[in-house]
């Protein structure tokens, strides 16, 4: 069995002591083991990043950007190998893995604009012979903790931008599917990144706590579940760190009576069942305004759910692969059990799915519930599986109140032909990312990603302009060069330009 190492100071470092198995979710087999870093190993990475920082912060932004241009090219050249690694350890289909990588590359492209995005502001003659400007300076050693569901994309949300801003980065990826993350980091080293600027340390809670507690680490980025996001935010900020912690979601799609139903169904199929529902932007609740649209939705979507092509993620031409672990599969099945017990109408049951040739894989088929109510756990909780719930309401206002009352506010969308309804929805909904006839409103790389309420802890969203703000500190400089042989008397009143 192969062992997946850490990447510290530009070199592969074997793990010491504890390790965790890494599975192929399609077969259920353990294919490798990943080392779980102790505090001494994490300190090696912290020391490497700290040592690399002085030279890296003084590297011109244009030179940093040149490395990112080469990195982008290497990512594109190695697309097939990266997608295969993602699929083999996560379970998502090859096509989905390629899509994930391409969205990650968008963030590398944004980072290539370092000379532009790091320009400060300049004002001449704010006072007599006085000029003022702002300077965006790096923070120092920063870290990212990323989830299993996007082992390529979410790390690429973080470290390319942090690095071109002049910081050194420590990445703690998910221990469930670390191979693609490690491979991509090594491509950045091949692109010419100096040793120590990016370090990848595998681990579990011990590694996370080491990053939280290390005084050398000045900022933490996190994507994952809400309880852990809240923990990292609380523990990090009380130690004076800058923290952005993105948590869980329960994303609703509102279907108005005038919705283009055929297109809405196609959108819901991809948004609910793509990546087996293991997306923080997955649509897991369809809120139908009126029984007529709800009944029509059920009639149209049931045959498509039953026709889903499900199999080993490493195969091509599939709609859905397995869940990431046996525990994830069992958790989703438990939610389906609870939905039945609490009185929801189970229209399509995915619990009995068997994939020939992959009988031990972690599969759950597409599942649909109707007549779901807000007190049911399948409504309140983030299931993170291929389960879509239909909730019936009488008006758009009732649908919006339902969404606004939920503890999560990550993403939502509305399907309608009515511009007035869409405008009201966009203005009044208490959610951070909103789509109009767009089921997965994930912002492009030059905007920023983040939810509201208990979907985000911290003031700044991920990547894009907010990412630049998060990974830099603004310094205001005021400078004066008095005329030669001039002398001015002391001023005791507070200075002004009046």
Say which CATH number the domain at 264 has.
3.40.309.10
DSSP 8-state secondary structure symbol assigned to residue 120: -
Supply the pLDDT for residue 497.
67
Q: Is residue 447 part of a domain?
A: no
- Please give the full DSSP string across 244-269, using - where no structure is assigned: EEE----EEEEE-TTS-HHHHHHHHH
- Residues 50 and 9 occupy one common structural domain: yes
Q: Which residues pair with 22 in a beta bridge?
A: 32
408 and 299 fall within a common domain: yes
Q: How many residues are there in the chain?
A: 498
**Would 27 be classed as within a structural domain?**
yes
Co-location of 101 and 210 in the same domain: yes
Model pLDDT, residue 484: 76
Task: Supply the residues annotated as catalytic.
Answer: 280
Task: Write out the DSSP string of 428-458.
Answer: H---SEEEES-S--PPPTTS-B--EETTEES
pTM of the model: 0.95
Among the candidates 436, 467, 493, a domain finishes at 436
pLDDT tens for 287-345 read: 999 999 999 999 999 999 999 999 998 888 999 999 999 999 999 999 999 999 999 99
pLDDT-flagged residues of the chain (< 70): 1, 497-498
- Domain containing 231 — which CATH number? 3.40.605.10
Q: 38-68 b/e with 16+ CB inside 10 Å = b?
A: beebbebbbbbbbebbeebbeeebeebbebb
Specify whether 235 is located in the same domain as 257.
no
Which pLDDT belongs to residue 314?
Answer: 84
The boundaries of the domain holding residue 213 are 2-247+455-477
The DSSP element (H or E) to which 228 belongs, if any, is helix 226-237
Same domain, 21 and 104: yes
Distance CA 140, CA 54 (A): 9
- Kindly tell me the burial class for residue 266, based on how many C-beta atoms sit within 10 Å of its own C-beta (0-12, 13-18, 19 or more): middle
Buried b (16+ CB within 10 A) or exposed e, 5-37: bbbbbbeebebeeebbebbbbbbbeeebbbbbb
**Position 487 in a domain:** no
Q: Count structural domains, the chain.
A: 2
Domain for residue 215, yes or no?
A: yes
Q: 262 in a domain, yes or no? A: yes
Classify residue 443: in a domain, yes or no.
no
**Cα distance between residue 251 and residue 285, in whole Å:** 6
Is 287 part of any domain?
yes
Query: Looking at the structure, do residues 10 and 104 belong to the same domain, yes or no?
Result: yes
Q: Are residues 161 and 124 in the same domain?
A: yes
- Looking at residue 498, what is its pLDDT? 61
- Please indicate, yes or no, if residue 21 is contained in any of the structural domains: yes
């Amino acid at each position: 069995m192969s062992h997946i190492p850490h990447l510290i100071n530009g070199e592969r470092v074997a793990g010491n002591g504890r390790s965790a198995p890494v599975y192929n979710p399609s077969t259920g087999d353990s294919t490798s083991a990943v080392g779980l870093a102790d505090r001494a190993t994490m300190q090696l990475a912290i020391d490497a990043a700290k040592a690399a920082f002085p030279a890296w912060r003084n590297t011109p932004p244009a030179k940093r950007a040149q490395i990112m241009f080469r990195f982008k090219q290497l990512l594109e050249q190695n697309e097939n190998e990266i997608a295969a690694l993602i699929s083999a350890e996560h379970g998502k289909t090859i096509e989905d893995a390629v899509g994930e990588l391409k969205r990650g590359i968008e963030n590398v492209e944004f980072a290539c604009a370092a000379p532009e995005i790091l320009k400060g502001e300049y004002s001449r003659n704010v006072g007599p012979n006085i000029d003022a400007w702002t300077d965006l300076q790096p923070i120092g050693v920063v870290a990212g903790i990323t989830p299993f569901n996007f082992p390529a994309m979410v790390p690429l949300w973080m470290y390319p931008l942090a690095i071109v801003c002049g910081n050194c980065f420590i990445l703690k990826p998910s221990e469930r599917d670390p191979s693609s993350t490690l491979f991509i980091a090594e491509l950045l080293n091949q692109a010419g990144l100096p040793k120590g600027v990016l370090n990848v340390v595998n681990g579990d809670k011990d590694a996370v706590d080491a990053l939280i507690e290390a005084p050398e680490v000045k900022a933490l980025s996190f994507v994952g579940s809400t309880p852990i996001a809240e923990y990292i935010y609380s523990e990090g900020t009380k130690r004076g760190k800058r923290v952005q912690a993105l948590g869980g979601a329960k994303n609703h799609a509102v279907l108005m009576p005038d919705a283009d139903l055929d297109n809405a169904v196609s959108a819901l199929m991809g948004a609910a069942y793509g990546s087996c529902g293991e997306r923080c932007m997955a649509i897991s609740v369809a809120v139908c305004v009126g029984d007529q649209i709800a009944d029509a939705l059920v009639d149209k979507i049931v045959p498509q759910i039953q026709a889903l092509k499900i199999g080993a993620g490493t195969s091509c031409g599939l709609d859905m692969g397995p869940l990431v672990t046996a525990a994830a599969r069992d958790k989703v099945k438990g939610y389906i059990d609870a939905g039945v017990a609490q009185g929801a109408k189970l229209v399509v049951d995915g619990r009995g799915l068997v994939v020939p040739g992959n009988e031990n894989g972690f599969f759950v088929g597409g599942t649909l519930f109707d007549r779901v109510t807000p007190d049911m756990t399948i409504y309140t909780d983030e299931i993170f599986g291929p389960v879509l719930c239909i909730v019936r309401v009488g008006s758009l206002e009732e649908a919006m109140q339902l969404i606004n009352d939920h503890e999560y506010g990550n993403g939502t969308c509305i399907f309608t032909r009515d511009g007035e309804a869409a405008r009201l929805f966009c203005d009044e909904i208490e959610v951070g990312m909103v789509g109009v006839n767009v089921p997965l409103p994930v912002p492009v790389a030059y905007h920023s990603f983040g939810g509201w309420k208990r979907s985000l802890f911290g003031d700044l969203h991920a990547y894009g302009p907010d990412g630049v703000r998060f990974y830099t500190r603004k310094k205001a400089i005021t400078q004066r060069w008095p005329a030669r042989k001039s002398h001015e008397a002391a001023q005791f009143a507070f200075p002004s330009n009046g």
